[in-house]
Amino acid sequence: MKRQTKHTGSSAGQSKRKAGNFFGRRKAKPLKGAQEEALRTHLPKLAINLAEPCPAQAEALFSANESTPQAIVLEIGFGGGEHLVHRARLHPELAFIGCEPFINGMAKAVRAIADNGLANVRLYGEDATGLLDWLPDGSLSRIDLLYPDPWPKKRHWKRRFVNPGNLHRFHRLLKPGGEFRFASDIESYVNWTLRHVFNHGGFEWTALHPDDWHKPWDEWVSTRYEQKAIREGRTPAYFIFRRR
């Protein structure tokens, strides 16, 4: 749950960052031995390979599970996987897809998934738009975009993940009544997101009270990044938009 920034074995982690990507760096400090081992051992079983035909039903991505998932949730830019793993542990009846191009974050998540024995998670480690275009219509019940890279300089705003094209992708993939959830501590990005969502017209903001968007939703996990933002005086905003 961090800046929209992502490695995987088959379909992820092989290409260098392209100029138009929505994420920044691919790797920071060298991986620890246990993280490298987790990527080698567990990632091939978790990774989604876009070179394979898209299944008619996205539930087929979890065909190895004992039961068909009740719903599928996508988290874009999951950072170290804190929120993704937490919810996957709480809800074995649901299926979760996580996108993260930042290799260090992917390694942390893969290790946590393996340590917890989670069978209801699949991962993708390239730019999320490729996955969004690959998945079938109406396959998701929820999309989380939590603390994406705000690209604060105006000349970089075109790289913000919330844009008309991606909102169209969200609308295509979400079932009627499905939710797009967004969190950020950057005021300009909050206003940007509200404007683009309203302009799209295919979503409704679910807030009922003036302070609703200041409160995280149930099952929220606060990360070190969020805690730092609060210490530095930035106020997080939490939005739920429902697909019409």
Please, what sign has the CA dihedral across residues 137, 138, 140, 144? positive
Rounded Cα–Cα distance for residues 78 and 40 (Å): 20
- The DSSP call for residue 169 is H
Tokens of 163: 């844009």
Rounded Cα–Cα distance for residues 123 and 111 (Å): 12
Tokens of 216: 């995280």
**Residue showing tokens 């991606």:** 166
Residue type, 81: G
Tell me how far CA of residue 3 lies from CA of 48, 61, 85, 114, 147, in angstroms. 21, 26, 17, 23, 6
- Nearest by Cα to 172 from 131, 207, 206, 205: 131
- To the query of whether residue 133 is one of the catalytic residues in this protein, the response is no
The catalytic residue among 127, 133, 137, 149 is 149
Beta-sheet strand order (sheet of 95-99): 121-124, 95-99, 72-76, 140-146, 174-184, 237-243, 203-205
- Nearest by Cα to 165 from 132, 189, 126: 132
Residue type, 77: G
φ, ψ dihedrals at 80, nearest 5°? -90, 5
| Residues labelled as active-site residues | 149
